[in-house]
Chain A
Amino acid sequence: MGYEEEEYTASFSLKIWKGLFPYLKPYRRMLLAIFLLNLGCAAMDILLPQFQQYAINHFIQSGTTGGLALFAGVYGAVVVLQTLFVMGFTRRCIRVEMNLGRDLKRACFVHLQTLSLSYYNTTPVGYILSRVMNDTDRIAQIVAWNLCDMLWAAAYLVGVFAAMLAMNARLALAVILVVPALALATFYFQSRILLWNRRVRRNNSRITGAYNEGIMGAKTSKTLVTEDENSRGFRKISEETRIASVRAARMNALYIPLVLFLGSAATAAVLVRGGGMVLRHTLLIGTLSAFASYAVGILEPVQELARSFSLVVAVQTNIERVTGLLEKKPGVVDRPEVAEKYGDAFHPKRQNWEPLRGDIEFRDISFRYPDGKENVLEHFSLKIPAGTTVAIVGETGAGKSTLVNLVCRFFEPTAGRILIDGRDYRERSQLWLHSNIGYVLQSPHLFSGTVRENIRYGRLDADDEEVERAAAAVGADRVAARLENGYDTCVGEGGDLLSTGEKQLISFARAVLADPRIFILDEATSSIDTQTEQLIQAATARLLKGRTSFLIAHRLSTIRRADLILVVRDGRIVERGTHAQLLRERGYYRELYLRQFEEETAAGALNAGT
């Protein structure tokens, strides 16, 4: 429930907007220009009905066309001027909207690069993504358009009232009476329209979820013959969506005629009162027509004001979400003196970096995940000399990544110290450590881009030859050879155009290029064809040589190769030793091993020679 976008602030709060001020600052001038252009626009809008008044009072009532050309000329000038104002401010509004959106997105993205892994572990990607992409867009849109619209509307209202009061104060009051009614109606409906629209959106995402499940679970539904049952469940959701949509539509259907009716009421009031004045010759008929125009004309700014205001209030939620993200503190931070010496992630001072040998020591470590209830490691100590291969085994979800998370300093131990080359790793910068680590994931993550770009990710200044050499070292050159454009083939989003095995080989090449002192392999569980499997085994062997390595291992061949095996169960390390030692003990490792052994031998014998 925590991730449903439910919050809803009801009143304007300057405090929330203050968080946005620094981002508005670069656009002060442009916002001022927009403001002035809007004033100009409002002035023109106020002027236009005056032409009608003038036309009736001076030409029609007195039956002359003398000076009509001049009249047309001035009128035309006003029309042109208004066009220029409108174009001027819309262009600037778009500029502010897009640039502000861009700045906010960038601020979020940059900040996200500094947040610790614990944040990513507990926050769904969709949730972050909607903050970076949608909330920022919405904020920029409201700031650029609606804040300025409110200015225009306010200026227009004030101007129209001034004009009406100047023309005829008594009649002006009759029109002004409509304004509060209109404002109230708009507030009332606007908040309800927003509410129902939000409900419709929520229902829409439920519908998307239902389709997703209906399609992903198609095979299961078929084998269980639950198609009709599923459809019944879906119909319930779609009916709820329909009802919400009709309700949202009803709000609009009521609101719009109500506004128009209020306009007509103002017109009627003008007609009765102003008409009486005309009959008594205290008001010119042209002035009456100008009043009628204003009576209808003020509808728009009042609506705009009320509508924009509720949008401005509603967007506070979006602002809070974005500033909430921006204010989130990273869980792992380099100490100031460390950052001073080694530089930060964006400005590293590589000249001060010591080379890394690869001795790692866990000294009396206790650890609990930030969102966890109990320690998963308790007084754990382990010395790993440089060049050692450590395999971590256990069931899926048993917590095999904990040690790796600690070694990588994605998390820091709750108590105790981790020493690298004899020094607490918190005395060096994160980037120093990360630059010395090679990481290959179980579902290897490739970025959309070419094969070459993905390999080069390991070391950005590598030339083409180095990239290809790294690929050849792990057999990824065969992947490239198979592809139409070789190394310059795009791998698709997340590398989707390649098979898992191929992705793995490329991520190996990436790690080889980085030439790290510490190597971490999170092995794939999915089955890979025998040939690729052999390639991967060979590549792994090559990568492990001379490096301190941690293998989150599933394959026996990988496990057997390890100098030390750590067995994890329910988040804790329950056994440790070499393969032979552990097999002799009738422990959990043996059980795990047997299962894997049966799988692999059968698969091996059956796939031999395929």
Chain B
Amino acid sequence: MKKQSKKRAAAALIRPLLRGTGRLFAGAVVFSLLNTVLSASLPQIIRVAVDSVFAGRPLPGRLGKLLAPVLADPPRALLLAAGATLLTAALAGLCSYLGQMGIARGSEAFVKSLRDRLFEHIQKLPFSWHSRNQTGEIIQRCTSDVEVIRQFVSTQLLQVFRIVFLVAVSLGAMFSMDRKISLIACAFLPAVGAYSCVFHFKIARRFRTADEAEGQLSADVQENLTGVRVVRAFGRERFEIGRFDKLNERFSRLWIRLGSLLSLYWGTSDLIIGLQVLTVTVAGIAETVGGGITLGEFLAFVFYNSTLAWPIRSLGRVLSEMSKAGVSAERVAEILAAEEEKDPPGALEPPMDGDIAFRHVTFGYGGQEPVLKGVDFTIPAGSTFAVLGGTGSGKSTLAHLLDRLYELPPECGSITVGGVGISKIKLSHLRRNVGIVLQEPFLFSRTILENIRAARPGATREEVRRAARAACVDGDIEAFADGYDTMVGERGVTLSGGQKQRVAIARMLLQRAPILIFDDSLSAVDAETDARIRAALRQSLGGATVILISHRITTLMQADRILVLDRGKVAELGTHEELVRRDGIYRKIYEIQMNGADRALLREGEARDGV
């Protein structure tokens, strides 16, 4: 029952994507049916030719009257038959082409809209969904499962129609000629069909096992390749080969066994079909000799009979592929069923240059223990606000919540900007007005130029360069062979951690947001560059509200106010001078960083250099 409703849900999600392709699919079915009818009329031409030309039997009915003058002249009749054959074949070919193209256009358009929908949907799913799901798994569904669905729609779907129709037409033609032999011919069919179905469903599991064995082998090779240093360093080549051999052997053995089974299946069904043809032929001979049917009919009969067997044999495969496609559709639909980020009706677009206030905020990820516990503070508009906290203290969570990467449930406190609750603000408006640089920023595999102006595609090259200069990364970029047009990532250069952070800062500057968050985003930049960047930023930021998350006292002490988070709670809050005077965590860090034993060594060095 549950399975049924799941299937229905999957269909409901995927069906809208078929919109606009209905005509193509309908056309494909019509043309493919026409093709079947035309192809099936070829034996009729032969039958007429054989019976009336060679055997001299008059053709019954209206057609006979119509063709009588031609048939009176046998050589001309033969030419006519040949001409009719060619014409029918040409028409059948045309219908086949149109049918195939219809299905190709329809299915490819459908698959494209499915892919687009999935991509767009995934983009719009809340970040909490992304962190819950594994990348590899999602990609698997978006590619392999979509491919299974594509295969089904582009080949199997039409195949089902064709099989049913072909069998119907052939049987119809056969029964119209001779009931007795037709019944004999039919007697074999259920056996072939049932055998095929049982076999394909039975073998499906073996296919899975063999596929898994291939996956394991592939994973083993991959592990060996990625772990090559460990293998070499421990001199474990022989051991590795032993393990590989075992998996390799298993993989080939499984497939050989599977192949032998398939071979047995092919052989057996070939045999059944061969015997069916034999039986029908022998019965046909007896019937023709007995005068039940004409020679032409006998030939047509043998022909129709030969088109009966293969579709029924492929029935099993089509059905098992269908069930596979069903499973894939469910897996894809599961993604589509997840809820996208949405604005409530009447979402606001207020000015974002007001005070930011966190009020009694308590938050935990996915129902886990809270990482923020009753946090309460205000960041005055236009000020620089620093946050200091250890691993897991919840400092990044502040940024996540402010940018609504995670939603703060209403009962867990509130966050406001300029007095407006951020949950009431239009999401895109909020995020456009909050710039974040993450500790490990992500750059897209595009050019550096495109990366920097991601948030404002209209920005000019000069604006991009200005932002890059402010982020102290212009020089680095110019040093690349292609400058700003250098590709980032696998197909281009690999940037160092510090360079990535600075490119991300440039990207954020171009966003021109009134609220800026630096989430530990200068950690890979040395202290001097850090200071230079901050100086440059101060000039280009204007009246923006800045939130700095850092470990570096020299960075923190520049801020107007400093918040010290300790295990999810506000431990200290104040200016640098206030905090240094207080006996707390901040002072402890300050003292270690500024007065440690190593400081003495450093001062010693400085004194010697006369600095």
Contact = CB atoms under 8 A, between A and B. Distances in A.
B438 interface: yes
Interface string A275-303: 11011000001000100100000000000
A273 B79 CA distance: 9
Interface stretch (B182-190, B213-221, B367-375, B462-470): B213-221
A238 interface: yes
Interface residues of A, number: 156
A102 B221 CA distance: 13
Contacts of B290: 65
A106 B551 contact: no
B392 to A, nearest CB: 8
B540 interface: no
A214 B262 contact: no
Contact of A605 (B108, B123, B281, B588): B588
B231 interface: yes
A80 interface: yes
B58 to A, nearest CB: 17
B233 A437 contact: yes
B414 interface: no
Contacts of B388: 602, 606
25 contacts: A52-B281, A55-B281, A59-B285, A72-B282, A125-B225, A133-B221, A211-B139, A215-B139, A218-B125, A218-B127, A222-B405, A223-B403, A229-B457, A234-B119, A252-B100, A257-B97, A275-B78, A292-B46, A395-B498, A431-B237, A445-B229, A527-B391, A586-B611, A601-B593, A602-B589
Interface in A573-598: 580, 583-586, 590-595, 597-598
Nearest to A456: B239
Contacts of A99: 252, 256
Contacts, number: 440
Given A65-B286, A234-B119, A285-B50, A607 B391 contact: yes
Interface residues of B, number: 164
Contacts of A346: 237-238, 241
Contacts of A253: 96-97, 100-101, 104
Given A437-B233, A601-B593, A610-B390, A72 B278 contact: yes
Contacts of B118: 211
A235 B114 CA distance: 11
A87 interface: yes
Interface string A370-405: 000000000000000000000000011100000000
Contact of A91 (B42, B259, B436): B259
A272 B79 contact: yes
Contact of B496 (A105, A239, A260, A397): A397
A246 B436 CA distance: 43
Given A72-B278, A441-B229, A585 B111 contact: no
B24 to A, nearest CB: 11
Interface in A403-418: 408, 410
Given A408-B232, A434-B234, A224 B454 contact: yes
Nearest to B89: A264
Given A268-B82, A590-B602, A606-B389, A109 B233 contact: no
B251 interface: yes
Contacts of A112: 224-225
Given A99-B252, A213-B445, A586 B609 contact: yes
Contact of B135 (A87, A216, A246, A261): A216
Interface in B570-611: 585, 588-589, 592-593, 596, 598, 601-602, 604-606, 608-609, 611
Interface stretch (A151-159, A202-210, A355-363, A476-484): A202-210
Contacts of B498: 395
Given A65-B285, A258-B93, A275-B49, A238 B115 contact: yes
B105 interface: yes
A378 to B, nearest CB: 22
A265 interface: yes
Interface in A237-251: 238-239, 241-242, 245-246, 249-250
A451 interface: no
Contact of B270 (A83, A256, A445): A83
Contact of A76 (B275, B299, B436): B275
Interface string B109-125: 10110011011101111
Given A79-B271, A410-B229, A60 B285 contact: yes
A78 B484 CA distance: 74
A448 B588 contact: no
Given A90-B263, A441-B229, A610-B392, 17 more contacts: A75-B282, A86-B263, A106-B248, A211-B143, A216-B442, A219-B127, A222-B127, A234-B119, A246-B104, A253-B97, A275-B53, A493-B219, A584-B604, A585-B605, A586-B605, A598-B527, A605-B589
Give the 10 A-B residue pairs with the shortest CB-CB distance, closest first.
Answer: A606-B390, A94-B259, A257-B93, A264-B89, A249-B104, A439-B233, A253-B100, A602-B551, A87-B267, A79-B274
Contact of A213 (B115, B223, B260, B444): B444
Interface stretch (B63-71, B196-204, B426-434): B426-434
B551 A599 contact: yes
A450 interface: no
Contact of B53 (A212, A254, A279, A493): A279
Contacts of A219: 127, 130, 405, 438, 442
B54 A218 contact: no
Contact of B295 (A95, A285, A430): A285
Interface in A86-140: 86-87, 90-91, 93-95, 97-99, 101-102, 105-106, 109-110, 112-114, 117, 120, 124-125, 128-129, 132-133
A93 B442 CA distance: 49
B593 A598 contact: yes
A598 B552 contact: yes
A371 B197 CA distance: 57
A94 B127 contact: no
Contacts of A603: 390-391, 551
B109 A90 contact: no
Contacts of A221: 123
Contacts of B241: 106, 109-110, 113, 346
A360 B42 CA distance: 87
Nearest to B231: A113
B494 A397 contact: yes
A410 to B, nearest CB: 7
Contacts of A264: 42, 85-86, 88-89
B539 interface: no
Nearest to B225: A125
Interface string B43-62: 00010011001100000000
Given A219-B130, A241-B112, A257-B92, A606 B233 contact: no
B444 to A, nearest CB: 6
B232 A117 contact: yes
A514 B39 CA distance: 74
B347 to A, nearest CB: 14
A364 B393 CA distance: 50
Contacts of A585: 605
B263 A68 contact: no
A226 B234 contact: no
B245 interface: yes
